[in-house]
Amino acid sequence: MPRVYIGRLSHRARERDVERFFKGFGKIVEVDLKNGYGFVEFEDSRDAEDAVYEMNGRELCGERVIVEHARAPRRDIRSEYIVGRSMCMHI
C-alpha cells in the first residue's frame, strides 16, 4: 500500500491531527508517528499522490511540514532479528 512521509512534524501532533490533515484524500489505512516525522498509509496510490501534491509545505500544528512519497517500503518487523547480549532471537 502506498505510504507518504511527513517531515518536520510538530511534537504536539497526534494521530487524530494527521488524520484530519489528510481527511479529503481517501481512505487512510494507518498513521505511524515517530519523533518529529511520521508515515501515512493510504489504500489507493492516487490518493497518496494527491496528498503529496496538495499538502507539501502546508501547516500542521504550527509547523510547515514536508509531505513526500516514502522512499522505502515498510519493513516487516516480524522477520527481523533482535540481538541481545549473548543471543540472537528471531521473532
**Could you report the per-residue pLDDT of 8-34, keeping only the tens digit for each?**
999 999 999 999 999 999 999 999 999
Domain ranges of the chain: 3-90
**60 CB neighbour count, 10 Å cutoff:** 20
Report yes or no: 81 and 89 within 8 Å, Cβ to Cβ.
Answer: yes
Q: Note the pTM of the prediction, 2 decimals.
A: 0.78
CATH code of domain 3-90 = 3.30.70.330
Taking only the tens place, the pLDDT of each residue in 29-88 is: 999 999 999 999 999 999 999 999 999 999 999 999 999 999 976 665 444 444 444 444
In what helix (H) or strand (E) does residue 18 lie, and over which residues does it extend?
A: helix 15-21
Sign of the Cα pseudo-torsion (10, 71, 51, 2, in order): negative
